[in-house]
């Protein structure tokens, strides 16, 4: 398929800059794949579409304050986006080695040293594909501890206004630190809504996929099949795998977010069960993919020409998805990370 097959027009005024309050007051577009119908509800109505036989799957990754500002030796500042701690440096005493994106980074050669904060410096030690730089950080404490003090939340570039609260870009169930972007479909949940879902008998399973460069790297090749995803780390516990498997036969696996879908489908088997364990995924889902685990999907409205929109199109059909997006624009839904939601049945 061609990249242009996943394009659509969006007025910039529909890009949400802040989450709605309360979170579960967001609008919910319900798309029925079998009937090819589109209806309009509120996110807090989600329990009406769930049954006690279903399992709702959440991604409990937590966004780290991954954006650091550093000073160059001759003056001037650069912005460093932490992607992940390099495995090759585990246990070494020479500091932490991180994969990063640096802006502006064109003139930063190997050996360049930067000052991040008092007692914290870093050095460019290598380059990887896609503009990724390896940076060695010298600090007496773990870098994540420093980032919590001086780092900033790595908001997407289309959000131009500051957060009202730091946790606006975290799900209420975020637990495992490691993501550089939020699993935004989960931002609509509140503790009260989760309690209602549990009280109605629907089981909830949590898995982890640390959203990284693989999710938000743009597709640049016109033949989308040639795109290669960057790998992202995920974990599925034996308890979560058992809970998900219990939905087979009588219920559905209702997955919240494209990241959780990719984690489950990476570990999924043809019989619908899911393997447990930890590992890396670079699964690229686009139309023609056969889903083994996912029966229903809660997702946001995604940017054009992205792997996220391609995944949703694979699940619901490209024509139906683009029709739903056109209707969302006509009805002035709010788009992207802090925008409204879609439930695909």
pTM of the model: 0.93
Q: Is 83:99 a contact under the CB 8 Å cutoff?
A: yes
pLDDT of residue 88: 47
Do residues 190 and 139 both lie within one domain?
A: no
Which of 150, 182, 213 lies at the terminal end of a domain, its last residue? Answer: 150
Cα Rg of the chain, angstroms: 20
Q: What is the tens place of the pLDDT at every residue in 218-234? A: 899 999 999 999 899 99
List the domain range (segments joined by +) for residue 133: 67-150
Distances 251 to 186, 195, 316 between C-alpha atoms, Å: 21, 20, 19
If one counts the domains in the chain, the total is 2
What's the rounded Cα separation, in Å, for the pair 197 and 178?
Answer: 27
What's the rounded Cα separation, in Å, for the pair 255 and 298?
Answer: 6
Do residues 77 and 125 both lie within one domain?
A: yes
CATH number for 143: 2.40.10.240
What's the rounded Cα separation, in Å, for the pair 342 and 185?
Answer: 9
Of the two residues 240 and 162, the one the predictor is more confident about is 240
Residue 213 forms part of a structural domain: yes
pLDDT of 313 higher than 70: yes
What's the rounded Cα separation, in Å, for the pair 68 and 154?
Answer: 9
Residue 97 forms part of a structural domain: yes
Residue 315 forms part of a structural domain: yes
pLDDT of 90 higher than 50: no
Of the two residues 309 and 108, the one the predictor is more confident about is 309
Which of 150, 173, 206 lies at the terminal end of a domain, its last residue? Answer: 150
pLDDT of residue 128: 85
Do residues 56 and 92 both lie within one domain?
A: no
What's the rounded Cα separation, in Å, for the pair 34 and 50?
Answer: 17
CA atoms within 13 A on the CB side of 314: 23
Do residues 168 and 307 both lie within one domain?
A: yes
Q: Is the peptide bond before 104 cis (omega within 30 degrees of 0)?
A: yes
Give the DSSP per-residue string, 194-242: HHHHHHTT-EEEEEEE---HHHHSPP--SBGGG--PPPEEEEE-HHHHH
Do residues 267 and 170 both lie within one domain?
A: yes
Which of 117, 150, 183 lies at the terminal end of a domain, its last residue? Answer: 150
Q: What is the tens place of the pLDDT at every residue in 256-276? A: 999 999 999 999 999 889 999
Residue 268 forms part of a structural domain: yes
CATH number for 302: 3.40.1780.10
Do residues 222 and 293 both lie within one domain?
A: yes
Do residues 135 and 170 both lie within one domain?
A: no
Q: How large is the average pLDDT for residues 19-43?
A: 98
Do residues 53 and 177 both lie within one domain?
A: yes
Do residues 121 and 37 both lie within one domain?
A: no
Average pLDDT, the chain: 93
Residue 37 forms part of a structural domain: yes
Do residues 107 and 50 both lie within one domain?
A: no
What's the rounded Cα separation, in Å, for the pair 186 and 235?
Answer: 18
Residue 158 forms part of a structural domain: no
Residue 104 forms part of a structural domain: yes
Of the two residues 16 and 75, the one the predictor is more confident about is 16
pLDDT of residue 91: 47
What's the rounded Cα separation, in Å, for the pair 253 and 257?
Answer: 12
Q: Which of 102-111, 232-241, 293-302 has the lowest average pLDDT? A: 102-111
Do residues 29 and 89 both lie within one domain?
A: no
What's the rounded Cα separation, in Å, for the pair 150 and 64?
Answer: 12
Do residues 78 and 181 both lie within one domain?
A: no
Residue 157 forms part of a structural domain: no
């Amino acid at each position: 398929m061609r990249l242009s097959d996943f394009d659509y027009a969006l007025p910039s005024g529909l890009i949400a800059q802040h989450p709605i309050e309360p979170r579960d007051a967001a609008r919910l577009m319900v798309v029925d794949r079998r009937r090819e119908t589109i209806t309009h509800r509120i996110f807090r109505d989600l329990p009406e579409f769930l049954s006690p036989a279903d399992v709702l799957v959440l991604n409990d990754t937590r966004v780290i304050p991954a954006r650091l500002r550093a000073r160059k030796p001759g003056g001037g500042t650069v912005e460093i986006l932490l992607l992940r701690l390099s495995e090759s440096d585990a246990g070494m005493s020479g500091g932490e080695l991180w994969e990063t994106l640096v802006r502006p980074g064109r003139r930063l050669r190997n050996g360049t040293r930067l000052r991040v904060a008092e007692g914290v410096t870093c050095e460019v030690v290598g380059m990887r594909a896609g503009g990724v730089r390896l940076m060695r950080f010298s600090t007496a404490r773990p870098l994540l501890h420093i980032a919590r003090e001086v780092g900033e939340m790595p908001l997407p570039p289309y959000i131009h206004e500051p957060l009202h609260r730091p946790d606006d870009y975290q799900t209420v169930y975020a637990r495992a630190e490691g993501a550089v972007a939020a699993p935004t479909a989960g931002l609509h949940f509140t503790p009260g809504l989760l309690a209602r879902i549990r009280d109605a008998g629907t089981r909830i399973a949590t898995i982890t996929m640390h959203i990284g460069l693989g999710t938000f790297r743009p597709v640049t090749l016109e033949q989308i099949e040639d795109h290669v995803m960057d790998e992202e780390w995920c974990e599925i516990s034996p308890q979560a795998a058992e809970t998900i498997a219990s939905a087979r036969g009588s219920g559905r696996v209702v997955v919240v977010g494209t990241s959780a879908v990719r984690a489950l489908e990476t570990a999924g088997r043809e019989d619908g069960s899911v393997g447990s364990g930890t590992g890396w995924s670079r699964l690229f889902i686009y139309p023609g993919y056969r889903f083994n685990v996912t029966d229903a999907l809660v997702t946001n409205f995604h940017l054009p020409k992205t792997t996220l929109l391609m995944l949703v199109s694979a699940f619901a059909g490209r024509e139906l998805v683009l029709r739903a997006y056109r209707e969302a624009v006509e009805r002035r839904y709010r788009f992207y990370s802090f925008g409204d939601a879609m439930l695909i049945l």
